[in-house]
C-alpha cells in the first residue's frame, strides 16, 4: 500500500491518503480482524464513496480477487464538518460519501485505472479529491476542531496519560467540557480514546515480542492490575493477551507492524496511530483556543448503515490475527 501526505493547505483536515492494491489468487480469500483508529475514514472502491465513522469494536476485512482503492484518514475534527448528521450517530456505521457532497468518486476511481505510471495515477486521484475538499471546506478546520486535533495528538504522543483528569489538567479544560467536545466531534468519550491508545500500544509491544510478562506490561500501560488489562484487551480484540502472544509466537500471524501500519497487511495486530506531529506552541494554543458548542441537525434523508463485525472496507485500520482459507495461505497480497 502506498501512503501520501496531504498538501500543506489541508494538513489540519487530512492525516494522509492510503491507496492499497491487492492481488489474491482465484478462488482464495484473505481475512483480517481489524481494530481501527477511532476516527473517520473516507474510502472509494469500485467508484463508490463511503464515509466511515469510528469503530468501537473489531470488524472483518475480507479481500479476494484484485483491486485498487482510494482512502483518506481524516483528522479527528474533520468528520463532523463533512457529515450531515451528528457524529455520534455515525459511530460503528457509515453513510454514502455523496451525502457529504462528494460527487467525484467516479472520477477518482477512473484516475486510479487510467493510463500512465502508478505514481501518476495515484497523485491525480489525490488532486481530484483535494480540489473537492477545498471547495467543500473553504475555511478549513474550525477552532474547535483544531483543539480536538491537538488533544488527540497529545494522547498519541504521550504514553503516560492514563486518566481523563490528567488530560483535562494538561489542556486546562473542564472534564465535562472535554467530554462534550470529544463526543460531539468524534462520537466517543475521552476515556475510550485513552483506552484504545493503551490497547494499541499493548498489541504493538506484544507483537514485537515485548511484554510477555503481562503483569508488568499492564502496570507499564497504566492499568491497576493484569485482570483489568486482560478484560479490556479481550473485550475489544476477542482474544486474551496470552492467546494473542501465542499466535504471534507460533508465527501464524506474521510479525507485528510498526504503529503507522494500516490496511490489509498480514500481521498479528496491525496497530494504527494517528501520526500527528504535536506543535511546539501547543501551550499557547491550549490557553487561547476556546471550546465552542457544536450542533448539527440530522438530515432526515440520511440513513446510517451500521457495520456488522464483518465489513468490506477497512479504512485506516489495525488487523488482528488474519484468517485465511487453505487456498489463501499461499496468496500474494500486494499493498504497494
Instruction: Please name each of the domains of the chain with its CATH number.
Output: 2-140+306-330 (no CATH), 143-288 (1.10.10.60)
* Residue of higher predicted confidence among 156 and 110: 110
The whole-chain average pLDDT of the chain stands at 77
Angle between helices 164-171 and 143-157 (to 10 degrees): 130
Residue percentage of the chain with pLDDT more than 90: 45
* Residue of higher predicted confidence among 286 and 61: 61
* pLDDT at residue number 288: 37
* pLDDT at residue number 2: 84
Residue 138, sorted as left (phi over 0), alpha (psi -120 to 50) or beta, turns out to be alpha
* pLDDT at residue number 209: 66
* pLDDT at residue number 308: 52
Grid look-up 460531539 returns 184
Whole-prediction pTM value? 0.73
Chain Cα centroid distance, residue 153: 13
* pLDDT at residue number 143: 97
Sheet holding 29-34, edge to edge: 59-64, 29-34, 319-324
In whole angstroms, what is the distance from residue 164 CA to residue 139 CA? Answer: 31
pLDDT digits (tens, 9 = 90+) for 274-328: 333 333 344 334 333 333 333 333 444 566 776 554 444 444 444 444 444 444 4
* Residue of higher predicted confidence among 72 and 202: 72
* pLDDT at residue number 93: 93
Q: Would you say residue 149 has pLDDT above 50?
A: yes
In whole angstroms, what is the distance from residue 153 CA to residue 94 CA? Answer: 24
- Please say whether the dihedral angle defined by the alpha carbons of residues 73, 265, 193 and 211, taken in this order, is positive or negative: negative
Place 251 in a pLDDT band, splitting at 50, 70 and 90.
low
Q: Would you say residue 271 has pLDDT above 60?
A: no
* Residue of higher predicted confidence among 309 and 5: 5
Q: Would you say residue 335 has pLDDT above 60?
A: no
Amino acid at each position: 500500500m502506498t501512503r501520501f501526505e496531504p498538501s500543506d493547505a489541508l494538513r489540519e483536515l487530512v492525516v494522509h491518503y492510503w491507496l492499497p492494491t491487492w492481488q489474491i489468487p482465484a478462488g482464495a480469500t484473505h481475512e483480517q480482524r481489524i481494530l481501527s483508529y477511532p476516527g473517520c475514514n473516507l474510502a472509494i472502491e469500485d467508484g463508490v464513496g463511503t464515509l466511515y465513522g469510528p469503530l468501537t469494536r473489531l470488524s472483518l476485512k475480507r479481500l479476494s480477487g484484485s483491486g485498487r482503492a482510494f482512502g483518506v484518514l481524516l483528522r479527528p475534527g474533520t468528520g463532523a464538518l463533512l457529515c450531515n448528521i451528528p457524529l455520534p450517530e455515525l459511530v460503528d456505521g457509515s453513510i454514502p460519501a455523496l451525502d457529504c457532497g462528494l460527487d467525484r468518486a467516479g472520477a477518482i476511481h477512473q484516475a486510479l485505472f487510467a493510463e500512465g505510471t502508478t505514481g501518476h495515477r495515484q497523485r491525480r486521484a489525490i488532486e481530484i479529491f483535494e480540489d473537492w475538499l477545498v471547495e467543500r471546506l473553504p475555511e478549513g478546520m474550525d477552532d474547535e476542531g483544531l483543539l480536538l486535533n491537538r488533544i488527540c495528538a497529545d494522547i498519541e504522543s504521550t504514553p503516560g496519560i492514563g486518566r481523563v483528569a490528567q488530560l483535562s489538567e494538561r489542556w486546562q479544560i473542564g472534564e465535562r467540557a472535554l467530554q462534550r467536545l470529544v463526543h460531539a466531534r468524534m462520537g466517543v468519550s475521552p476515556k475510550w480514546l485513552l483506552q484504545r491508545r493503551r490497547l494499541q500500544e499493548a498489541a504493538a509491544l506484544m507483537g514485537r515480542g515485548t511484554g510477555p510478562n503481562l503483569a508488568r506490561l499492564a502496570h507499564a500501560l497504566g492499568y491497576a492490575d493484569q485482570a483489568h488489562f486482560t478484560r479490556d484487551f479481550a473485550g475489544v480484540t476477542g482474544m486474551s493477551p496470552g492467546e494473542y502472544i501465542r499466535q504471534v509466537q507460533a508465527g501464524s500471524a506474521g510479525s507485528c507492524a510498526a504503529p503507522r501500519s494500516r490496511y490489509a497487511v498480514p500481521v498479528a495486530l496491525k496497530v494504527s496511530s494517528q501520526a500527528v506531529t504535536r506543535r511546539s506552541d501547543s501551550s499557547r494554543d491550549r490557553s487561547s483556543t476556546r471550546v465552542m458548542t457544536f450542533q448539527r441537525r440530522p438530515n432526515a434523508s440520511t440513513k446510517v448503515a451500521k457495520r456488522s463485525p464483518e465489513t468490506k472496507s477497512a479504512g485506516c485500520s489495525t488487523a488482528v490475527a488474519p484468517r485465511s482459507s487453505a487456498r489463501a495461505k499461499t496468496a500474494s497480497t500486494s499493498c504497494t
